[in-house]
Structure 1
Amino acid sequence: MAKSQKRKAESREAIMRSAAKLFRENGFDGVTVAAVMDGAGLTHGGFPRHFTSKEELITATLAELFAADAREPSLPMRDLHEFARAYLRSEHRGEPGTGCVFAALGPEMARAPRPTRDILTDAIERQIQKFVDIAPGEKPAERRVAAIGTWATMIGAMVLARIVNSDALSEDILASARLFLEVEG
């Protein structure tokens, strides 16, 4: 790869890393292209060399986040209960910029344009299958119910724990979800 092509690829990766963190921390509407470029250590004027719009940046960033997690999962994927224990931690709640994109951006992603929703749907289907593979249950249908129910509980608990302005209530939400899912410990 030529030096200029390599540099362009590195810049694009830096832009998407910056966008991934900022979008999860502030939401899609709460982040400007200028802020993303600044976070990447680049000038705003360089943006069009990499993306045609903010929407394209959002879609590409989400696709890369899911691809990166498929290559190297951020949480243990040996057992669904182990995953839930790791997910439902106060440290995860306190770091939305590096945590679960669904808990950070779920409501916004529900209103995303079709190309973005297509990527999200594929990612959700792949994640459910990963959870089915490690979920308890004798039959595939039982494991699928456990996978979807556990994941939905985790995301919902994380969203609620981040919404409240009481540390005690936030901790109670996470602890209750762990107890409900029988993953405490």
Structure 2
Amino acid sequence: MRKSKAEAAETRKRIVAAAAAEFRRRGIVATGLADLMKAAGLTHGGFYKHFKSKDQLIAEACAEAGRELFEKVSANAAKGSAVSSYLSTRHRDDPAAGCPLAALGPELARCDEKTREAATAGFERLVGVLAAEFGKLPPEEARRRALASAATMIGALAMARMVTDPELSAEILREAESSISHA
């Protein structure tokens, strides 16, 4: 029985959301189509009904993960905790629901242009939210600080996930937050 266009669109959204989480959890290269479809609660055979290629799904999943990041950072910025929430152990310990830039940065750099454009858009939105945090500064200075803050946050989160020493991991997050808040 054929699905309606609305059902097909909902299924596609479910696949993109599952892919966004699985790529952040396991990495792009390490995640096969069968893994993605299973995570979406579907069989592997239906993939090509929704996407032309894995690259197309990667780009859409990256855009979705970037949108999620923007929503979380914006909500936390409204509460005055954008940087501390981003640089938290909770964020560190849940890459599947976290920042795609910290989880996938080196892989994203090797992706096709459409995926890199989605990653760039996500980074620009993060910088925009952070620049608003420096609202009392001239716009150029606020952007400069936001760029440095975003780069520090992404790198610190990636390093905090990479190291094996829990104390060092927590120290990386604390010191990155301190360097941003005292800049």
Q: What is the correspondence of 1:6-155 to structure 2 with a 5 Å cutoff?
A: 6-70=6-70, 72-74=71-73, 75-78=75-78, 82-135=81-134, 137-155=136-154
TM-score, with normalisation over the residues of structure 1?
Answer: 0.88
Q: Which amino acid aligns with 1:159?
A: A
Mapped to 2, the partners of 1:130 and 1:84 lie a distance apart of 10
Q: Which runs of 4+ in 1 moved over 3 A?
A: 67-70, 72-75
CA contact (8 A) 1:164 1:170 kept: yes
CA contact (8 A) 1:160 1:170 kept: yes
Higher helix share: 2
TM-score, with normalisation over the residues of structure 2?
Answer: 0.89
Segment of structure 1 superposing worse, 43-52 or 170-179: 170-179
Mapped to 2, the partners of 1:172 and 1:48 lie a distance apart of 45
Q: Which amino acid aligns with 1:177?
A: A
* Aligned twin of 1:159: 158
CA contact (8 A) 1:78 1:134 kept: no
Deviation at 1:101, TM superposition (A): 0.7
Stretches of structure 2 that go unaligned for 5 or more consecutive residues are none
Mapped to 1, the partners of 2:165 and 2:131 lie a distance apart of 34
CA contact (8 A) 1:150 1:181 kept: yes
Task: Give the CA RMSD over aligned residues.
Answer: 2.0
Mapped to 1, the partners of 2:94 and 2:69 lie a distance apart of 17
CA deviations over 1:34-78 (Å, ceiling 9, x no partner): 0000111101000011001111100111122334555x3354123
Query: How many pairs align?
Result: 180
Mapped to 2, the partners of 1:9 and 1:116 lie a distance apart of 21
Mapped to 1, the partners of 2:77 and 2:88 lie a distance apart of 16
Deviation at 1:3, TM superposition (A): 6.0
Mapped to 2, the partners of 1:126 and 1:175 lie a distance apart of 24
* Aligned twin of 1:168: 167
CA contact (8 A) 2:108 2:116 kept: yes
CA contact (8 A) 1:136 1:146 kept: no
Deviation at 1:5, TM superposition (A): 1.1
Cα distance change on mapping 1:116 and 1:45 into 2, 3 Å: same
* Aligned twin of 1:5: 5
